[in-house]
Amino acid sequence: MTRTLPAVGAVRRWLVLTVVLLCFLPAAMDVTILTITVPTLAHELHASPTELLWTVDVYSLLMVGLVLVSGPLGDRIGHKRLLLAGLAVFGVASALCATASGPLALIGARAALAVGAAMIIPATLALIRQTFGDGRDHAVAIGAWSAVAAGASALGPVAGGFLLLHFWWGSIFLVNLPVVALAVPAVALLLRNEVESERQPWEATSPLLSIVGFLGCAYAIIAFTHDDVAVAEVALPGALGLTALVLFVRRQQRSAHPMLDLSLFRLPALRAGVVASVLPVLVMVGFELQLVQYLQFAEGLSAEAAALYLIPMPVAAMVAGPAGGLILSRTGPRMGVPAGLLLAASGYVLVASGTVVPLGLALIGFGQGLVQMVASNLIMATAPSAQAGAAAGIESVSYEAGAGLGIAVFGTVTTVIYRLLLPPGTSSSPLQAGASQETARALTDAFHTVTWLAAALTLVTIFLATPKAAAAHAPAEGA
């Protein structure tokens, strides 16, 4: 049975959505806002390339495990309370990030930021489900949420570039504080708190296994960026990570009260939504990190000039969500995934070939926004209402796993290709070598190679997700 907040009128529901999206915006933007500050952080904090990669990536990787705790927690204490707690932690952690004195301190503060975001993101999804139920308005609301998810990821480097134009690097975190200051009283006054009648027991092993698993796998991937990497440096953390993930899955399957309810994956539409969420996010976030580094290291653009260059992506992504929500609320999700992925793949091809790059970025943004909207709607609308928190946890895990692995995979692949293309005797670090002709050429060729890889992975996703999505929707259409 569909459950909504008591006596929520039409106007109030859209006010709730506005407040929820305001809370979600900074948490989503912080996935990518650091990417454009890489040269600045390297200079100001004397950070190595590996430290920079971890600074960007630790936020998403930690959230993969943390949302397993926070999603069900919202079902127990109410998603309003979870959201308020998340905003408080997020605000304090933002201040800590802005005042970090070195790369290790910044990585630690980013980890604390992930704790707050891990409470905010699933709470926003669950509150939308509680407020809008399963009808047409829910599809539109999820479209708006997805527009913020895709748009904020693309907008992060743009916002970071403009802040660096006028302020020091810490401003990219302090900008979160006014948003938190506005959101806390709005949430306290406007939203109602609901607690599920069935309270599940708690255990810390599952989220710990998830965190160890993803961090271990990410470390094994990022280790390839180290100079003279040893086999053990890749094999040991990789084996630890894979073992932890296997143990995590087995624990969820055997538990009477799993942190991540894998039984929901029996629903074809939900499985399709997860595939359509993980892989496109992995590709876009990984591509965007390499794009901003290419623009600054190879093309010599300033942070603000690179930000201007990126604008077509967030604009198109934010348009795609609401537009797609209105269209697909009438036509169903059958065509949403392939249409969005084809648009995004076309955009990657245009960027890789160096032709009509602004149009390519716009196609990537619009395609990603459309796919994210459909994926989120499939995940949240398919799960039973009483499991809104669990479904929100799956959606959050999917998004953050894709973002975290995308940064690790694309960052590592680009670094490996770049080193292979460098002439013998040339410095292997663009941070140290500056904009020499050799490093610029190698970085350009590496960037174009991984962009072709992005196009290929996006096309493969069509075959992995679309048939499932179409089959899942067929019974509903015939009902």
What pLDDT score was predicted for residue 163? 84
What pLDDT score was predicted for residue 478? 35
Other CB atoms closer than 10 Å to residue 122's CB: what's the count? Answer: 35
d(CA 343, CA 75): 37
Q: How confident is the model at residue 113 (pLDDT cuts 50, 70, 90)?
A: very high
Average pLDDT on 418-426 reads 74
What pLDDT score was predicted for residue 95? 92
What pLDDT score was predicted for residue 454? 92
Closest by CA to 140, choosing from 422, 477, 470, 374, is: 374
Higher pLDDT, 274 or 360: 360
Higher pLDDT, 457 or 467: 457
Average pLDDT on 106-111 reads 91
pLDDT in tens, 31-80: 778 878 877 887 788 877 778 878 887 887 787 777 777 767 777 778 88
Matching CATH number, 11-190+204-478, of 3.30.460.80, 3.40.50.1400, 3.40.50.2300, 1.20.1250.20: 1.20.1250.20
Looking at the predicted structure, is the pLDDT value of residue 274 above 70?
yes
Average pLDDT on 279-288 reads 86
The whole-chain average pLDDT of the chain stands at 78
Place of tokens 């459309």: 370
Inter-residue contact 368 to 150 (CB < 8 Å):
yes
Closest by CA to 97, choosing from 39, 28, 176, 163, is: 176
CA distances from 248 to 152, 242, 375 (A): 30, 10, 24
SS3 content of the chain, % helix, strand, coil (to 5): 85, 0, 15
Looking at the predicted structure, is the pLDDT value of residue 1 above 80?
no
pLDDT in tens, 226-264: 666 677 778 888 898 899 889 988 887 787 777 777 777
Most confident segment among 112-121, 302-311, 396-405: 112-121
Q: Output phi, psi for 102, to 5 deg.
A: -160, 175
Residue 346: partners with Cβ closer than 8 Å, 6 or more residues away = 360, 363, 367
**Crossing angle between the packed helical segments 49-77 and 79-98, to the nearest 10 degrees:** 160
d(CA 261, CA 372): 21
d(CA 74, CA 126): 8
Looking at the predicted structure, is the pLDDT value of residue 223 above 50?
yes
CA distances from 205 to 6, 176, 401 (A): 36, 32, 19
Report the predicted TM-score, pTM, of the whole model to 2 decimal places.
Answer: 0.75
Helix (H, G, I), strand (E, B) or coil at 370: helix
Looking at the predicted structure, is the pLDDT value of residue 199 above 70?
no
